[in-house]
Structure formats: structure tokens, C-alpha cells
């Protein structure tokens, strides 16, 4: 029982990382209707900028705010410069553009800051929470911030005019344009917001996985898995899905005898696919019905 | 949310437009397609006379990748199903060939049908659950397959068969019948023959009754079903055939490279196939070979421009290419053909007006 509890808590801690990323993924999915494969690299790049600022002597929270702002502008710039010209191209072509962006960011980060791993500070401290050994204060802080972002996003999308306009632009661009919403700018705004959320996720994740150009690849993929498991149309579902992936991965590694440890990611992914077979639009997603 | 079937449908529009605008007057004069195909095949057959062994080795790999991309194309381009898992089929094909050759001394040419058969079965079975999933959800399921494959190949109890992390090393086959060819030249011709055969088969498949059913499912699944197409059967069969093509490519790749190791069949290989597919042209059979060329040569070119920033240079080249040709090389060629046909038509009209 003790072991189970411990593994679940450890799973929640890793799951918090995935949940952070899953949330950023779903955000941009809602704004632009595509999965952004370069999301992780954008977050990594932002985190490197934060690291550089801290190295130059900027205090943590100063760097934090500056990087969130810079990422917002950077996200908008990427949309305007790279993706605006091909917004009418087929989906697969846009996918390749994401892959290209991935390569560009990854390789330039490696060139600017090199591939040695770097320590990244945490504002929450690294001690165990409440004196117990189940979960550290940083993990708890990460879970807390993820949930806080989730609540803020919920309020923004449900309660503000701008949020409503963004949802309309994503759901039905043609009708949104007819009622006077500037769809192009809503999409750019979505990019900016998701870059900012990604930056926050990156800065929370970096103290755990250490900072280096490839730090996000695994995180992003399991973040995707979490987002898809929870349902791409539901931010809350994505967060839950992220936690679920972390817990399943940990439990499979501990409790499935013989090959559990070696194949734990495989098992986690197979379980997710099994869930999808029962609920093809994810646990909390709405299935899309289109008129024919 | 856009309609779920718009992954590949946009591809078919420029195709029809090009065909229509070429029209009846120009078709009499325009070079028929089989002439181009024949010219390309003859050119490819003559290449070993001038090219060095290393260039031949690279070109053989281009054909291998082209074949794998063609497999992905049958699934994504013609049937509209996403896959990030084709590296797994490629790996299964490669390991089937390697194990047969290494453990049971099977001759290399027999391993191709074996690899194809194994991959067909695996692909067909994987197609069954994939039936329920669409777009990104299918992408995730196939991604799971791609992630699982290296881990399964490294899996302890299978090690006597797969060689674990070490992989399996193979011996390069010699030319048969005392043909005056060195092994590289022979493998080049062997791969070329397999490629041409399978390309012809794919062409026939796409232009058959089944091919129309496959494309109807891509363009409008509901309409296809109401016209009496057995959607589930065709989707799973396409998955199987697609895996078969990629599996045969994997077997050829193992023979050509003479080595298989688990980590070379990871998710990034699937991404390469996807890049090749889009650059070559979604839904185009010859485009797949262009994709193979891109995937093999452009990373090398990027590396030679800047070692540290090779990833960035590769990314920039990719972006440039898709800005210039948003629907791939095939779409670009169709557009160019349509333009030149139009130009020829106006020229004919003008000269007819002048001559009487």
C-alpha cells in the first residue's frame, strides 16, 4: 500500500510536467485547429532565454515576467512570418512547416547555448513537502501553477469578449469573420498565448529534467498523449490526461512483472490507445459532428 | 473544426484542374506519361555506367526510401489516413529480412516477399483498431506503434533472435550468374527492378476499381459507404498494403545497409517519411521518389553548409520548398504542365489564325 501511494505520488509529479505541456498543446489546438509539433521547442527556447537573463543577474521573477512577454511577442511573430503565408496549404504541408520550425529552434538553441545540461532554479525550493518524502515542494508548486493557469484560461475563454471571439474564430472562421471578428489576429493571439503558456511550462519543467536543447522532446510527446487522452477540445481533460499518463507510466513500471520496467512507456501508450478505442474523441472531448 | 476528410482532398483539386485544362486539343500533342516514365527508367538503368559506387549506394537508398514513402502515400495520400508509425513497419520488414538471412541462411531475394507478408498481416491487424480513430487520434495510435518498436526490438527475451541493442550485421550479396557487376551495382539494379515492379503495381491498384473505392473513402467516407463501398474492409486492406510496401522497403534497406539496429527505426524515421511524402507530393506515385531524394540528400547538403546549424538549415530548406510548392513536387509539376499546355494552346491558336 505504501509502495502504491508512493508510486502514485511520483506519477503525479511526472504527470504534472505532462499536464503543463498538454495544456499548452490544447490551447493552441483550440486557437488554430492544428497540433503544434514545435511547441516543445518553443518552450525550450523561452526557457533558455530565461536562463540567460538569470545568468546576467536579473532576479527570477523579473526574468519570468520578461520571458512570458517575450514569448507572447515571439509566438505572434512566428505566426505572422512563417504560418500566415501558408494558411491555405493542406494540413500535411503545415505539419511539415511545424517540423521545420522544430529543427530550426532546436538546432539554433544548440548553437547559441550548446548541448551541455544546465541547472535551472526553482522558486518553490526543492525540499520535501510537509516533511514527508512523497512529493517535493517544487512538484507541488508545479501542480499548483498548472491548475492556476487552467482556472485563468477557463475564466478568459468563458468570461471575456476576447476569449469568446477567439473561440468563435477557431470554431467557425467564416461566420466569425462575417460578424466582424478579425480571425487572422485571433489566430496570432492564440499563438502568442500558447507560446507564453509553453514558456511557463518550460520554466517549471527545466528544474526537473535539466535544461538542454532536447529536454522537451519526450515531455512534448507524452504531453500530446495526455492531451489526446483527455480530449483535444477540453483543457481540463488535457490536464487530467497528463496526470493520468504520468501515473499509468509509473504504475506499469512498478507493478507489471517481468517486462513492466523495460516496456513501461509502450504499455502506457497501449493503454491510452485502448482507452481511445472505447472513446474515440478522448475521455472528455466532444465528438465533432459535421453536416454533410 | 474543419471537416475530418480534408487531409488529402485538397490534393485532388489541382490534379483535376490540370487534367481538365490540358483538355482534348493539347493531349494529342503533349507527351504521354508512359514516355516520361520510360525515359526515367532508362536513365536510371544507365546511371551505373557513370556513377561511382558511393553515389550508387546513395541512389539505392533513395529508391528504398522512395518505396517506403510510396507505402505511406498509399495510406495517407490515397486513403486519407494519418500514420506516424511507418518506421515500425519499415523496422519489422528490415528485421524479418535480417533474421531470415542471419539465422536460417535464406537467400536475400526470398526475404522480400516474407517481409512483405509479415508487414501486411501486422498492418492489417493494426488497421482494425485504427478504424475507430480519426486524424490526430489515429496519429497518436500510430505514434505509439513507432515508439514501441525500438523497445520491443531491444526487449530481453527476444534478444537471441534480434541481437538486442547490438543489432544484426549482414553480408552484401554478390551479383548472380557471373554478371560483370560489383555488389553495389548489382544491388542498385535489384532495387530498381523491385521499385519499378511495385510502382507499376501501385499505379494499377490506384487506377482500378479498388483504387477508386480507396480514394472515394478519402474524399467522402459517408458518400462512399452509401455507394456500397465496404469502408472498413478497404481501410484495413489499405493499411495492410501500405505496410507491405514499407516493409519490403525495410527489407531492401537492411540488405543495402548490411546492418539493422533497434534505434534506427524510431519515430524520427516516421517523420522523415512524412516530410518526404509532403515534399514529393501527397497522392503522387512518382512524387514518392522525389521525396526519397529530398530525405536522403538535403540533410547532407544542410550538414555541408553548416555543421552546427544543420538542423536549422534543413528546416529553412524545408520551409522554402513548401512555400514554393505547397502541394509538393508533384503538384508543382502538374501546375507547370497545365501552364505549358495553356501556353502551347495559345501559340497554336495564334499560328492557326496567321496561316490561312
DSSP state of A234: -
Asked if A272 lies within 8 A of B140 by C-beta distance, the reply is yes
Nearest CA among B163, B189, B149 for reference residue B98: B163
CB contact under 8 A, B137 and A280: yes
Chain segment A228-248, per-residue pLDDT in tens: 888 877 888 888 888 888 888
Element (H, E) at A213: none
The CA distance from B67 to the nearest CA of chain A, in Å, is 19
- Given a cut of 90, is residue B245 above it in pLDDT? yes
* Residue among B250, B290, B218 nearest B66 (CA): B290
Rounded alpha-carbon distances, angstroms, from residue A243 to A8, A18, A178, A205: 10, 7, 40, 14
State the pLDDT confidence band at B300, using cuts at 50, 70 and 90. Answer: confident
Subunit contact B144:A270, Cβ cutoff 8 A: yes
Mutate to test the interface with B, among A92, A187, A260 (most CBs of B within 10 A): A92
Nearest to A100 among B147, B222, B318 (CB): B318
Confidence band for A260, pLDDT divided at 50, 70 and 90: low
Over chain B, what is the mean pLDDT?
81
B49 touches chain A (CB under 8 A): no
CB contact under 8 A, B148 and A107: no
> Among A25, A90, A286, which would you mutate to test the B interface (most chain B Cβ atoms within 10 Å of its Cβ)?
A90
Count contacts between A and B (CB, < 8 Å).
150
pLDDT at B80: 84
C-alpha dihedral sign at B160, B162, B166, B172: positive
pLDDT band, very low/low/confident/very high, at B21 (cuts 50, 70, 90): very low
Interchain CB contact of B335 with A (< 8 Å):
no
pLDDT band at B9 (very low <50, low <70, confident <90, very high): very low
Residues 120-179 of B with CB under 8 A from A: 129, 132-134, 136-137, 139-141, 143-144, 147-148, 151-152, 154-157
Mean pLDDT across A184-191: 87
Name the band, by pLDDT with cuts 50, 70 and 90, for residue B65. very high
B155-173 pLDDT per residue, tens? 767 777 777 777 787 777 7
DSSP 8-class letter at A128 = B
Percentage of chain A beyond pLDDT 70 is: 90
The reply to whether B324 touches chain A by the CB within 8 Å rule is no
pLDDT, position A88: 77
Q: Do A92 and B76 touch (CB under 8 A)?
A: yes
Question: Cell 462575417, residue?
Answer: A178
Q: pLDDT confidence of B120, banded at 50, 70, 90?
A: very high
* Whole-number pLDDT of residue A235: 80
Which residues of B fall within a CB distance of 8 Å from A282?
137
Q: Report the C-alpha gap between B186 and B173 in whole angstroms.
A: 9
* pLDDT score for B356: 57
| pLDDT tens-digit readout, A37-80 | 788 888 899 999 999 998 888 888 888 999 999 999 999 998 88
Residue of chain A whose alpha carbon sits nearest to that of B73:
A92
B314-339 pLDDT, tens digit per residue, is 888 888 888 888 777 888 888 888 88
Owner of C-alpha cell 480571425? A183
Q: Which class is B9-350 in CATH?
A: mainly alpha
User: What does the pLDDT read at residue A197?
Assistant: 86
B305: cell is: 553548409
HEC secondary structure over chain B = CCCCCCCCHHHHHHHHHHHHHHHHHHHCCCCCHHHHHHHHHHHHHHHHHCCCHHHHHHHHHHHHHHHHHHHHHHHHCCCCCCCCCHHHHHHHHHHHHHHHHHHHCCCHHHHHHHHHHHHHHHHHHHHHHHCCCCHHHHHHHHHHHHHHHHHHHHCHHHHHHHCHHHCEECCCCCCCCCCCCCHHHHHHHHHHHHHHHHHHHHHHHHCCHHHHHHHHHHHCHHHHHHCCCCHHHHHHHHHHHHHHHHHHHHHHHHHHHCEECHHHHCHHHHHHHHHHHHHHCCCCHHHHHHHHHHHHHHHHHHHHHCCCCHHHHHHHHHHHHHHHCCCHHHHHHHHHHHHHHHHHHHHHHHHHHHCC
Is residue B4 scored above 60 in pLDDT? no
Give the nearest chain B residue to A103 (CA atoms): B311
User: Residue A108 contacts by C-beta under 8 Å, 6 or more apart in sequence?
Assistant: A45, B309, B312
So what's the pLDDT on residue B2?
40
A104 neighbourhood in chain B, CB within 8 Å: 311-312, 315-316
pLDDT single digits (tens) A3-34: 788 778 878 878 888 888 888 888 777 776 77
A280-284, B42-46, B74-78, B336-340: segment of lowest average pLDDT: A280-284
Sign of CA dihedral B133, B139, B140, B145: positive
Most confident of the ranges A206-210, A283-287, B28-32: A206-210
- The cell numbers describing A193, all together, are 498565448
pTM, to two decimals: 0.79
Bigger pLDDT: A292 vs A251: A251
Tens of pLDDT, residues B22-34: 444 444 456 677 7
Whether the per-residue pLDDT at A148 is higher than 80: the answer is: yes
* Partner residue facing A276 (CB), from B2, B141, B155: B141
Percent of chain B with pLDDT over 70: 90
Range from A20-29, B57-66, B90-99 carrying the lowest mean pLDDT: A20-29
B311: nearest CB among A106, A263, A266: A106
What is the DSSP-derived secondary structure letter of residue A287?
P
Task: Enumerate the residues of chain A whose CB falls inside 8 A of the CB of residue B316.
Answer: 100, 104
Closest CA to A242 of A253, A220, A227, A262: A227
Say what the pLDDT of residue B246 is: 93
Residue B143 scores a pLDDT above 70: yes
Q: Give the mean pLDDT of A119-145.
A: 75
Mean pLDDT of B298-306: 82
Tell whether B1 lies on the interface with A, counting CB pairs under 8 A. yes
Does residue B73 belong to the interface with chain A, where contact is any CB pair within 8 Å?
no
Amino acid at each position: 500500500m505504501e509502495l502504491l501511494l508512493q508510486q502514485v505520488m511520483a506519477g503525479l509529479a511526472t504527470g504534472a510536467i505532462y499536464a503543463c505541456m498538454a495544456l499548452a498543446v490544447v490551447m493552441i489546438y483550440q486557437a488554430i485547429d492544428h497540433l503544434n509539433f514545435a511547441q516543445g521547442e518553443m518552450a525550450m527556447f523561452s526557457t533558455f532565454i530565461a536562463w540567460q537573463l538569470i545568468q546576467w543577474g536579473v532576479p527570477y521573477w523579473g526574468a519570468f515576467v520578461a520571458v512570458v512577454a517575450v514569448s507572447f511577442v515571439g509566438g505572434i511573430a512566428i505566426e505572422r512570418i512563417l504560418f500566415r503565408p501558408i494558411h491555405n496549404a493542406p494540413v500535411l504541408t503545415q505539419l511539415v512547416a511545424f517540423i521545420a520550425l522544430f529543427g530550426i529552434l532546436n538546432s539554433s538553441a544548440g548553437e547559441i547555448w550548446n548541448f551541455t545540461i544546465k541547472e535551472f532554479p526553482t522558486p518553490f525550493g526543492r525540499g520535501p513537502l510537509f516533511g514527508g518524502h512523497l512529493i517535493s515542494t517544487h512538484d507541488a508548486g508545479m501542480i499548483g501553477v498548472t491548475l492556476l493557469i487552467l482556472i485563468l484560461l477557463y475564466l478568459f475563454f468563458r468570461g471575456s469578449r476576447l476569449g469568446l471571439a477567439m473561440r468563435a474564430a477557431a470554431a467557425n472562421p467564416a461566420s466569425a469573420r462575417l460578424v466582424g471578428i478579425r480571425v487572422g489576429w485571433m489566430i496570432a493571439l492564440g499563438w502568442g498565448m500558447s507560446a507564453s503558456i509553453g514558456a511557463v511550462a518550460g520554466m517549471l519543467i527545466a528544474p526537473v529534467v535539466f535544461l538542454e536543447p532536447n529536454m522537451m522532446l519526450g515531455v512534448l510527446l507524452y504531453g500530446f498523449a495526455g492531451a489526446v487522452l483527455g480530449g483535444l477540445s477540453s483543457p481540463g481533460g488535457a490536464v487530467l490526461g497528463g496526470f493520468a499518463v504520468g501515473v499509468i507510466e509509473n504504475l506499469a513500471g512498478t507493478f507489471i512483472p517481468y517486462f513492466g520496467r523495460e516496456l513501461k512507456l509502450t504499455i502506457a501508450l497501449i493503454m491510452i490507445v485502448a482507452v481511445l478505442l472505447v472513446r474515440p474523441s478522448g475521455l472528455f472531448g466532444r465528438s465533432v459532428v459535421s453536416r454533410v | 473544426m474543419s471537416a475530418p476528410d480534408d487531409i488529402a482532398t485538397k490534393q485532388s483539386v489541382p490534379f483535376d484542374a490540370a487534367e481538365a485544362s490540358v483538355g482534348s486539343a493539347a493531349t494529342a500533342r503533349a507527351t504521354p506519361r508512359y514516355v516520361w516514365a520510360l525515359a526515367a527508367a532508362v536513365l536510371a538503368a544507365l546511371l551505373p555506367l557513370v556513377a561511382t559506387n558511393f553515389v550508387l549506394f546513395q541512389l539505392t537508398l533513395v529508391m528504398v526510401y522512395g518505396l517506403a514513402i510510396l507505402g505511406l502515400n498509399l495510406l495517407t495520400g490515397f486513403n486519407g489516413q494519418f500514420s506516424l508509425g511507418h518506421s515500425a513497419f519499415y523496422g519489422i520488414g528490415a528485421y524479418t529480412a535480417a533474421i531470415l538471412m542471419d539465422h536460417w541462411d535464406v537467400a536475400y531475394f526470398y526475404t522480400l516477399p516474407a517481409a512483405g507478408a509479415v508487414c501486411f498481416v501486422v498492418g492489417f491487424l493494426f488497421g482494425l483498431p485504427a478504424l475507430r480513430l480519426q486524424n490526430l487520434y489515429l496519429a497518436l495510435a500510430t505514434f505509439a506503434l513507432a515508439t514501441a518498436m525500438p523497445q520491443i526490438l531491444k526487449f530481453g527475451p527476444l534478444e537471441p533472435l534480434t541481437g538486442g541493442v547490438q543489432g544484426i550485421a549482414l553480408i552484401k550479396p554478390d551479383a548472380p550468374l557471373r554478371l560483370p557487376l560489383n555488389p553495389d551495382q548489382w544491388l542498385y539494379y535489384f532495387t530498381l527492378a523491385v521499385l519499378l515492379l511495385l510502382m507499376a503495381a501501385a499505379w494499377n491498384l490506384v487506377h482500378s476499381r479498388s483504387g477508386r473505392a480507396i480514394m472515394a473513402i478519402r474524399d467522402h467516407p459517408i458518400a462512399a459507404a452509401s455507394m456500397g463501398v465496404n469502408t472498413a474492409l478497404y481501410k484495413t486492406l489499405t493499411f495492410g498494403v501500405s505496410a507491405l510496401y514499407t516493409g519490403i522497403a525495410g527489407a531492401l534497406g537492411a540488405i543495402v545497409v548490411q546492418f539493422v539496429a533497434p534505434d534506427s527505426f524510431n519515430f524520427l524515421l516516421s517523420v522523415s517519411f512524412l516530410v518526404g511524402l509532403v515534399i514529393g507530393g501527397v497522392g503522387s506515385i512518382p512524387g514518392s521518389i522525389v521525396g526519397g531524394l529530398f530525405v536522403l540528400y538535403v540533410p547532407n547538403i544542410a550538414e555541408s553548409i553548416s555543421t552546427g546549424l544543420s538542423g536549422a538549415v534543413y528546416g529553412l530548406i524545408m520551409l522554402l520548398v513548401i512555400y514554393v510548392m505547397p502541394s509538393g513536387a508533384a503538384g508543382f509539376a502538374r501546375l507547370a504542365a497545365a501552364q505549358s499546355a495553356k501556353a502551347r494552346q495559345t501559340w497554336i491558336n495564334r499560328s492557326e489564325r496567321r496561316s490561312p
